[in-house]
């Protein structure tokens, strides 16, 4: 009994350590100075999420952000070259966070099909808050990803930035889903396309729920998860 208690205590302490030290790693070339390394940096991240969510990425400027956090435009430029890089930082952080959730929530599942189902759950469900990161409003960041992520790669600089590794986390997340699809269904011919379609499609369906309801069937009572689980499982001929 005491042994069990001690054992449990060790697990809990392990988890606490894991959680308290946990930081999502973003490619260092995306920033000039690591925003996690200072108070100002953390405030830049915290309030850029709030401000972009409020006024949209187009209207967002470093000047407005500076006014908001009582800091100077020029100081923000010491952390990020421009607002595009800041958007890359935010979306990278999001995909890193989602990847972490995906790994955590599927790690201990042995059945490939159950694993895949749980992965679909994590990827297509609405974003929920995570107390581990006090400076990040995950729900608003999720909205930013829905509304702005595609603008981060639909540019003339994609290929260069892709070579630099700015989209590596996003692609790695999709590779993980692809591999889970393959484990469930080794003969399926389009695992990467299916994985990317689900990840992109989930963002798209969430957008449609908010703005173009006539071209989606998703709603609060039947969220994207339902649609995508049915889609993937039927495509792979796996029974629900």
The reply on whether position 176 binds DNA by CB under 7 A is no
* Count of all residues that appear for the chain in the document: 240
The reply on whether position 234 binds DNA by CB under 7 A is no
CB of 33 to DNA, least distance (A): 6
Residue 71 interacts with, from a second copy, DNA, none (CB under 5-8 Å by kind): DNA
Task: Report the alpha-carbon distance of residue 229 to residue 218 in Å, rounded.
Answer: 13
Residue 72 interacts with, from DNA, a second copy, none (CB under 5-8 Å by kind): DNA
Distances (CA, A) of 11 to 1, 4, 14, 73, 228: 15, 11, 5, 45, 35
The reply on whether position 77 binds DNA by CB under 7 A is yes
Q: How far apart are the first and last CA of the chain?
A: 40
Report the sign of the C-alpha dihedral through residues 24, 30, 34, 35, in that order. Answer: negative
- Decide: 235 and 194 in contact? Cβ < 8 Å: yes
Distances (CA, A) of 74 to 32, 63, 81, 237: 13, 8, 10, 56
Q: Which of 30, 31, 41, 142 binds DNA (CB under 7 A)?
A: 41
Q: Give the binding site for a second copy (CB under 8 A).
A: 55-56, 58-59, 147-148, 150-151, 153-156, 158-159, 162, 167, 171, 174-175, 178, 189-197, 200-201, 204-205, 207-208, 211-212, 214-218, 222, 224, 226-227, 230-231, 234-237
- Contacting residues toward DNA, per CB under 7 A: 33, 38-41, 59, 61-63, 70-75, 77-78, 81-84
């Amino acid at each position: 009994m005491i042994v069990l208690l001690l054992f449990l205590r060790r697990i809990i302490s392990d988890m606490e350590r894991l959680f308290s030290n946990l930081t999502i790693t973003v490619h260092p070339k995306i920033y000039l100075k690591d925003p996690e390394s200072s108070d100002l940096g953390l405030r830049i991240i915290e309030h850029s999420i709030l401000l972009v969510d409020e006024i949209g990425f187009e209207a967002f400027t470093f000047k407005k952000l500076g006014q908001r956090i009582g800091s100077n435009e020029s100081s923000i430029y010491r952390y990020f070259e421009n607002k595009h890089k800041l958007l890359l930082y935010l979306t990278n952080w999001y995909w890193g966070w989602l990847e972490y959730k995906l790994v955590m929530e599927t790690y201990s599942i042995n059945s490939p099909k159950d694993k895949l189902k749980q992965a679909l759950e994590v990827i297509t469900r609405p974003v929920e808050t995570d107390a581990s990161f006090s400076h990040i409003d995950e729900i608003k960041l999720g909205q930013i990803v829905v509304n702005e992520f595609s603008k981060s790669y639909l540019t003339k600089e994609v290929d260069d930035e892709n070579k630099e590794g700015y989209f590596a986390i996003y692609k790695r997340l999709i590779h993980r889903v692809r591999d889970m699809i393959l484990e469930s269904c080794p003969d399926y011919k389009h695992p990467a396309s299916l994985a990317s379609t689900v990840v992109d499609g989930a963002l798209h369906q969430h957008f449609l729920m908010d703005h173009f309801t006539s071209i989606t069937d998703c709603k609060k009572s039947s969220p994207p998860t339902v649609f995508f689980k049915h889609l993937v499982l039927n495509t792979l001929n796996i029974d629900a």
